[in-house]
Structure 1
Amino acid sequence: MPIRPEHRHFYPIDWPQLSAVIRFGRAGGRCEACRRPHGQVIVCLDKGTWYDAEAGHWRSGRGRRLRREPRLGALARARLTVPVLAACHRAHDTSLNGDRDLAAWCQRCHLIHDRPEHLRRRRLTYLRRRAMGDLFLGPYPVI
């Protein structure tokens, strides 16, 4: 994922090299959570199920091999995606850049991991907007 210019100073100078080592050196070009390959077209079904062409079988959203093939009706809703790996901070702290602090995740796994943090920030944004509205516009009308 690209780093916003206003957040660039939080990352180390060698972040592109560090990210490449984590994504392609340690993880081997696959998501460390679900095992999706970087930059390859894959077939995805509902709830994250996907077909691993290298292994020749279906995997769950967590990367585990499925015991049964998906039903024909589920295959009709299949879509093609191209996962892109990103080096991610497990603890949401950009100052921690050790090997244990970083993970190579695809967009889906990254968003799943960051969901509680996104909800926390969303709540703070709503509260901040409401407080600013109360400060400058008075109380909000009751609807």
Structure 2
Amino acid sequence: MSYKEDLAIKIATGNSCELVALQYQALIENVQDLGKYINKNDKEKTFAASDKIRDILSNLIATLGDDNNDFKNASIDLYLYINRVVNNAVIKKDTSEISGIIKIFETLRDAWYSAGANMSDKNEHKNLSKGITYGKTDVNISGSTSDLGRG
């Protein structure tokens, strides 16, 4: 089974926590790529990777909902901090903080996978999971995302 096929199955069968964990996995992969591209001085790929990171962070912020609570505020603060680190890495061509970001995402990914493993409903967002295909280089959303992040 290919990487894309395996990922499509995870998306189609994952619950909301597992879908969040997959976004963190995508962040890990893109931050790793960003570090490589910065070190190779490949501006085009560096900018593309940083744009993907920002897109995923924006999506994670959008899924936090409308309620104002401590979890949402702390999450937004974390995502904005990571965005600043990514911007500084690109501008200064300095990858020294990349490994720290990856560790944060690995911790969050593992926590969300663990939470997802404790959920009973594997298809909580049927409309969403049927409409998304994701690969390391692309994301295609063709279904409804109205229930994204609501549980």
TM range (shorter): under 0.3
Compare the two structures and name the one with the higher strand fraction: 1
TM-score by length of structure 2 reads 0.20
Compare the two structures and name the one with the higher helix fraction: 2
Greater relative contact order (CA < 8 Å, ≥ 6 in sequence): 2
- Who wins on radius of gyration, i.e. which is larger? 1
TM-score by length of structure 1 reads 0.21
